[in-house]
Amino acid sequence: MANTKNFALGFLLGGAVGAAVALLCAPASGEETRDQLLDLTGDARERAADLVNKAGGAVTTARDKAAEYVHPAVDAASSAVGGVKDKAVDAISAATEFVQSKAEQVKTAAQPTVDAVTSKVSQVKDSAVDAAGKAKDATSDLAGKAKDAASDLAGKAKDVTSDLAHKVKGSSGAADETKSSSAADLNGSSPDGGGDTVQPNS
């Protein structure tokens, strides 16, 4: 708008200056020249005002047309944004409800399996405790039997050792008697006793 006004003013001023120069150079009286200058100045003023009014009207018209196009566009954009927002909220709500529904279905479907697993774990635990108790009892019983068997075996070994010791001792005494008897017999058959003297082996 500023460029239009400047152009119009420059155009009018240029025309006025040109007209004034033409009048000054033309062969006329001073009064006629003054009247012509006044007429030209008034015409120039009226034309300038007219151009300014037309420029202002053009600007106003352009602004109104722009408003005619901009306002519907803004309204349409606002409506579209509101529609997208509403659709997004609806989609999020629907997705949330769907997920919650599926989660509840999965929980309901899995509950029997969870109960069965819990029951099986409890049974296995009870079986393990029972087996541990039986194993402890069997171990205690086996340990008692092993202790008794070891004690019995130790007693028998002691008896056998004692018996063997007595037998060895008895055999040693009989051997000593036999040795003494043999020595007496040998002494009885010496030259003094009518027999040969036997020298013991060294």
In this prediction, residue 114 carries a pLDDT of 82
Exposure letters 62-72 (e unless 16+ CB within 10 A, then b): eeeeeeeeeee
Q: Select from 38, 7, 1 the least CA-distant residue to 20.
A: 38
Summarize the confidence of residues 140-144 as an average pLDDT. 84
- 66-85 pLDDT tens trace: 777 777 777 777 888 888 88
In this prediction, residue 195 carries a pLDDT of 47
Residues 6+ apart with CB under 8 A from 55: 1, 4, 5, 8
> Of 53-57, 110-114, 124-128, 132-136, which range is least confident?
53-57
Would residue 157 count as lying in a domain?
no
> Of 24-33, 57-66, 100-109, 128-137, which range is least confident?
24-33
Looking at per-residue pLDDT, the higher value among 108 and 56 belongs to 108
Q: How many domains does the chain have?
A: 1
Q: How many residues does the chain have?
A: 202
The most confident of the ranges 71-75, 113-117, 180-184 is: 113-117
In this prediction, residue 184 carries a pLDDT of 59
Confidence of residue 193 (pLDDT cuts 50, 70, 90): very low
- 8-23 pLDDT tens trace: 767 777 777 776 666 6
Domain holding 64, by residue range, is 2-110
Looking at per-residue pLDDT, the higher value among 178 and 163 belongs to 163
In Å, how far are 53, 177, 184 from 196, measured between CA atoms? 187, 22, 13
Residue with tokens 């697993």: 117
Would residue 49 count as lying in a domain?
yes
C-alpha 99/C-alpha 89 separation (Å) is: 15
Instruction: Supply the DSSP string of 82-129, one letter for each residue.
Output: HHHHHHHHHHHHHHHHHHHHHHHHHHHHHHHHHHHHHHHHHHHHHHHH
- Number of helices (H), then strands (E), belonging to the chain: the values are 2, 0
pTM above threshold 0.85:
no
Would residue 195 count as lying in a domain?
no
In this prediction, residue 194 carries a pLDDT of 47
Would residue 130 count as lying in a domain?
no
Would residue 71 count as lying in a domain?
yes
In this prediction, residue 202 carries a pLDDT of 45
